[in-house]
């Protein structure tokens, strides 16, 4: 009995088995419509994103343009303010320009001037103890016209010194020839002077020595307080 039931069940399984067959029975028009709707959605989404980005770029560009225009307006306003201020100080600027022009003219006019007061004061102060200055004479040669100072170069002077512009002659009395020689050396260390030399020395009974000496005035001594520092010459020993 058991064998008979098993055989009947096996035949029933073979009868109810469904073969694995599948097929899309939708019409082709419906499938094409679905594909078209999908493509349209993607296209519309892309266009929407593009329009949004384009609008954002336009807003940003408009904002930057507005900022640039505001900056330009502020700069023009500041320029106008500075121009008005410059006009307000026009008289001061003109006065300064005139002052500079006057200083330049004075510098050119007094370029060959010598400040005799300070220079002769240094000559006097350089005298050693016991040396008395009886008199001093200074001359400045005019350019291209040698005067008394440059007409004759005494013995012992450095002839042909290109920095020489004049001569100072000093007369005095000293306690000894050694003191006079020390004074000659001291004169050579004064700025603006060079090549000091003894012109004459006379013994006055063994107690004093009367002397006359000369020293070259060089370019470093030229220039008044109106002359610029760059325009002053440099002396040479």
95 within domain boundaries: no
Q: Which residues of 162-172 are buried (b: 16+ CB within 10 A; e: fewer)?
A: ebbbbbbbbeb
Report the SS3 class of residue 170.
Answer: strand
Regarding whether 124 and 43 lie in a shared domain, the answer is: no
Q: How many domains does the chain have?
A: 2
* CA distances for 196 relative to 88, 212, 228, 235, angstroms: 58, 11, 28, 14
11 within domain boundaries: no
Contact by Cβ (8 Å): 184, 198: yes
Q: Which tens digit of pLDDT belongs to each residue from 167-226?
A: 899 999 999 888 999 999 999 888 888 899 888 888 887 788 999 999 998 887 776 555
Regarding whether 121 and 209 lie in a shared domain, the answer is: yes
Determine the structural domain holding residue 77 and report its residue range: 27-88
First to last CA, the chain: 154
Regarding whether 123 and 35 lie in a shared domain, the answer is: no
Regarding whether 183 and 141 lie in a shared domain, the answer is: yes
Half-sphere exposure of 70 (CA within 13 A, CB side): 6
164 within domain boundaries: yes
* CATH value at residue 196: 3.30.70.2830
Q: Return the closest-CA partner of residue 123 out of 192, 200, 175.
A: 192
Q: pTM of whole model > 0.95?
A: no
57 within domain boundaries: yes
Regarding whether 80 and 134 lie in a shared domain, the answer is: no
**Residue-level pLDDT, tens digit, the chain, 237 residues:** 444 445 555 555 555 566 666 666 667 787 788 888 888 889 999 999 999 999 999 999 989 998 999 999 999 888 888 888 777 777 777 788 878 777 766 665 555 577 788 888 888 899 888 899 999 888 887 655 444 333 333 333 344 567 788 889 999 999 988 899 999 999 988 888 889 988 888 888 778 899 999 999 888 777 655 555 544 443 343
3 within domain boundaries: no
18 within domain boundaries: no
How far apart are the C-alpha atoms of 79 and 49, rounded to whole Å? 45
How far apart are the C-alpha atoms of 216 and 222, rounded to whole Å? 13
Domain boundary, last residue among 51, 71, 88: 88
14 within domain boundaries: no
Regarding whether 165 and 126 lie in a shared domain, the answer is: yes
101 within domain boundaries: no
Regarding whether 182 and 126 lie in a shared domain, the answer is: yes
């Amino acid at each position: 009995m058991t064998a008979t039931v098993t055989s009947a069940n096996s035949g029933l399984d073979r009868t109810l088995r469904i073969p694995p067959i599948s097929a899309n029975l939708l019409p082709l028009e419906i499938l094409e419509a679905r594909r078209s709707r999908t493509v349209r959605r993607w296209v519309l989404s892309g266009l929407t994103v593009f329009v949004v980005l384009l609008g954002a770029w336009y807003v940003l560009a408009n904002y930057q343009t507005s900022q640039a225009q505001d900056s330009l307006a502020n700069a023009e306003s500041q320029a106008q303010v500075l121009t008005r201020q410059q006009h307000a100080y026009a008289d001061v600027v003109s006065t300064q320009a005139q002052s500079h022009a006057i200083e330049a003219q004075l510098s050119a006019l007094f370029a060959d001037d010598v400040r005799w007061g300070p220079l002769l004061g240094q000559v006097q102060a350089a005298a050693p103890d016991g040396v008395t200055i009886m008199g001093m004479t200074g001359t400045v040669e005019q350019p291209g016209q040698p005067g008394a100072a440059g007409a004759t170069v005494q013995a012992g002077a450095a002839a042909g010194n290109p920095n020489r512009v004049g001569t100072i002659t000093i007369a005095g009395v000293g306690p000894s020839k050694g003191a006079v020689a020390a004074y000659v050396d001291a004169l050579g260390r004064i700025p603006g002077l060079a090549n000091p030399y003894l012109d004459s020395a006379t013994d006055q009974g063994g107690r004093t020595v009367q002397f006359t000496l000369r020293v070259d005035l060089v370019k470093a001594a030229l220039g008044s307080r109106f002359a610029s520092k760059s325009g002053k010459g440099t002396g040479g020993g």
